[in-house]
């Protein structure tokens, strides 16, 4: 492992968590000298990965990261394949649709199909949230290999609202239920007033590629009979998207949903 690269990545992560930091603050957080951090910042700045505020002298993330992020999304097969299916699911249910992938202990939204009707909506593509606070994350972890599930339950469990489930035993029971019925649910765990329903998507090897799900007001998503209809629509869409990724071809493990 190249230590200088590791330190540079650490700096970028710190600037992601806190938008503006000075050299001394970054040195303390990274655990190296101010001169070492300064050298790394100058290199990152020359490549457009960080920028310096002229008034405060503090550093922030640079514009080149947008290019990298867009390139990642543009080349992501799940995102590319999910565009049409997401729009169809949004039209069928009248709700917004998210497609997400697991990145360490978080879920990243790689595609967002807006709700067909309604007021102003914020596009959430690129947003991240703790896996345990998201129906997408629960759907992914529930259908992943046992070792990944164990690591997820033993790792950091973020809290976004007072409703976020952070108890490993309770989460484990939710994951068992999600695997059994083929979809996961969250109620006001990411945002108060909102809920989510998501189902796993599998790739050509039978591994979990990510998840697709609905996001919207809890009273619209989880009140019966709408909840059952939304769950069926989400599972069917996930199955179709999995087929497009080659999940049911010879040699692949048949998903459990």
Instruction: Write down the pLDDT at residue 69.
Output: 65
DSSP per-residue letters across 13-26? HHHHHSS-B-HHHH
* Exposure class string for 223-247: b at 16+ Cβ within 10 A, else e: eeebeeebbebbbebbbbbbebbbb
Torsion of CA 209, 112, 160, 8, to 10 degrees: 70
Instruction: Write down the pLDDT at residue 257.
Output: 47
Instruction: Write down the pLDDT at residue 107.
Output: 94
Instruction: Write down the pLDDT at residue 65.
Output: 75
Instruction: Write down the pLDDT at residue 199.
Output: 98
Write down how long the chain is. Answer: 257
Residue ranges in the chain whose pLDDT is less than 50: 250-257
Instruction: Write down the pLDDT at residue 70.
Output: 63
Half-sphere exposure of 62 (CA within 13 A, CB side): 17
Cα distances (angstroms) measured from residue 134 to each of 27, 75, 187: 33, 24, 9
Instruction: Write down the pLDDT at residue 53.
Output: 87
Q: How large is the greatest C-alpha to C-alpha distance in the chain, in angstroms?
A: 62
In the numeric block, the tokens 């179709």 are attached to: 240
Instruction: Write down the pLDDT at residue 73.
Output: 61
CATH assignment of 3-66?
1.10.10.10
For residue 61, what are its two tokens?
Answer: 């993330």
Instruction: Write down the pLDDT at residue 120.
Output: 72
Q: Provide the residue ranges of all domains of the chain, joining segments of one domain with +.
A: 3-66, 76-244
As a whole number of angstroms, the distance between CA 245 and CA 254 comes to 13
Query: Which element (helix H / strand E) includes 117?
Result: none
**In the beta sheet, which residues pair with residue 21?**
59
Runs of H (alpha helix) within the chain: 3-17, 23-30, 34-46, 64-75, 77-93, 135-142, 146-154, 168-181, 218-221, 226-244
Instruction: Write down the pLDDT at residue 121.
Output: 80
Architecture of domain 76-244: 2-Layer Sandwich (3.30)
Runs of H (alpha helix) within 23-76: 23-30, 34-46, 64-75
Instruction: Write down the pLDDT at residue 249.
Output: 55
Instruction: Write down the pLDDT at residue 18.
Output: 82
């Amino acid at each position: 492992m190249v230590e200088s690269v590791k330190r540079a990545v650490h700096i970028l992560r710190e600037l992601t968590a806190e938008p503006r930091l000075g050299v001394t603050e970054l040195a303390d957080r990274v655990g190296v000298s101010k001169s070492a951090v300064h050298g790394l910042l100058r290199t990152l700045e020359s490549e457009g990965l960080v920028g310096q505020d002229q008034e405060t002298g503090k550093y922030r993330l640079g514009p080149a990261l947008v290019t990298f992020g867009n390139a990642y999304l543009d080349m992501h097969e799940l995102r590319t394949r999910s565009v049409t299916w997401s729009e169809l699911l949004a039209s069928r249910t009248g709700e917004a649709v998210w497609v997400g992938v697991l990145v360490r202990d978080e879920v990243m939204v790689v595609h967002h199909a807006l709700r067909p009707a309604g007021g102003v909506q914020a596009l959430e593509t690129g947003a991240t949230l703790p896996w345990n606070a998201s129906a997408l994350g629960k759907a992914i972890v529930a259908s992943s290999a046992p070792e990944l599930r164990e690591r997820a339950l033993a790792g950091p469990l973020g809290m976004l609202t007072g409703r976020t489930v952070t108890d490993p035993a309770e989460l484990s029971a939710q994951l068992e239920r999600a695997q059994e019925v083929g979809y996961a649910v969250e109620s006001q765990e990411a945002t108060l007033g909102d809920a989510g329903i998501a189902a796993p998507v599998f790739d050509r090897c039978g591994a979990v590629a990510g998840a697709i799900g609905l996001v919207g007001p809890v009273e619209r998503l989880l009140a019966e009979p709408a909840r059952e209809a939304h769950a069926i629509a989400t599972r069917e869409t996930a199955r179709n998207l999995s087929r497009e990724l080659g999940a049911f071809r010879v040699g692949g493990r048949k998903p459990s949903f």
